[in-house]
Amino acid sequence: MNRLAPALAASILALAACSSGGSTAPSASPGATTSTTTAPVSTPGYPDSIVVLGHSGATGGGSDPMNLSRDARENSWATGTNPTVNSVYLRVLARNPAVVGHNVNLAKGGSGVDDLLRQAEGAVELDPLPELVLIETIDNDIRCDGTDPQNYEPFGATLDSALDIIEAGAPDAKIFFVSQWGTVSSYMNTFAGSAAVVSANSGDYPCATFDESGAPKPDGIAYLQDVVDQYFAMIVARCEERANCFTDENASRAMAVEPDFLSPDYNHLSIAGHREYAATVWPALTGQGVIPS
């Protein structure tokens, strides 16, 4: 994940997005249980299997206060098993026992749209095939060096290829993209008093959100938000071309950005943040008819 400006790749980003390792093998999330008796009866309308693709925002990276560098997949807003988070998976499980143990997290720290191709290939090799594919992406594709406008179309083309893989290999799956949590402005307002955040987002590049004195730069904030919006617009455009693809329609932008929602690296969600993200995504899923209301 790359919540802070991409120019920080050598500092905070190196600590956060690119250091979150962990297995991406197609196996159930840690803590998931597998039924060894008669399979539970499926509840109509709810998925019997869920997979999440994307970057470290979906892996729970940075959410374990005892080990910030690991992928705490049990805390993932999407497929996690931590009851405190009450993930999308646990919300489905409460309504459809047939989904038990079928919560696979293929997301990987530092991933961009190119990695979605490999993750999509892994998703369609699962048994059972996923019936709901959650995707959290964009962050690591942002360049912030003035060349993002030239990257929008290539981003969209690669995304199309990933969607083709999912549609061909799991034709009954519903695909659901989430937008970035919060906005650039809400994030910067919350952490404007943090010397680390101000320093990391100051400079002479298009997405710098603070000037050298530490004062907010409205032009930089607006520029970075526009870049984020343009990438998500690409997702929306590609999704609208497919009957089984949905987005949260930018619902996640309304999520509050509170200090306790972030891990100490200021770049990932804490357990409380994953709980809030799941609570924000769920009504978007039901509102789009992906999950029964």
Instruction: Please answer whether residues 290 and 245 qualify as being in contact, where contact means their C-beta atoms are separated by less than 8 angstroms.
Output: no
Domains of the chain by residue range = 6-33+42-287
Predicted local distance difference test score (pLDDT) of residue 204: 85
Predicted local distance difference test score (pLDDT) of residue 225: 97
Predicted local distance difference test score (pLDDT) of residue 208: 93
Predicted local distance difference test score (pLDDT) of residue 212: 80
Predicted local distance difference test score (pLDDT) of residue 113: 97
Predicted local distance difference test score (pLDDT) of residue 213: 82
In whole angstroms, what is the distance from residue 133 CA to residue 279 CA? Answer: 18
Predicted local distance difference test score (pLDDT) of residue 193: 84
Predicted local distance difference test score (pLDDT) of residue 166: 98
Predicted local distance difference test score (pLDDT) of residue 9: 33
Note the Cα 123 to chain centre separation in Å: 16
Instruction: Please answer whether residues 21 and 109 qualify as being in contact, where contact means their C-beta atoms are separated by less than 8 angstroms.
Output: yes
For the chain, which residues score pLDDT lower than 50?
A: 5-35
Closest CA to 105 of 166, 42, 41, 25: 25
The model carries a pTM of: 0.88
Domain 6-33+42-287 top-level CATH class: alpha beta
Q: Is 65 exposed, middle or buried (0-12, 13-18, 19+ CB in 10 A)?
A: exposed
Q: Tally the C-alpha atoms within 13 A of residue 187's C-alpha that lie toward its C-beta.
A: 26
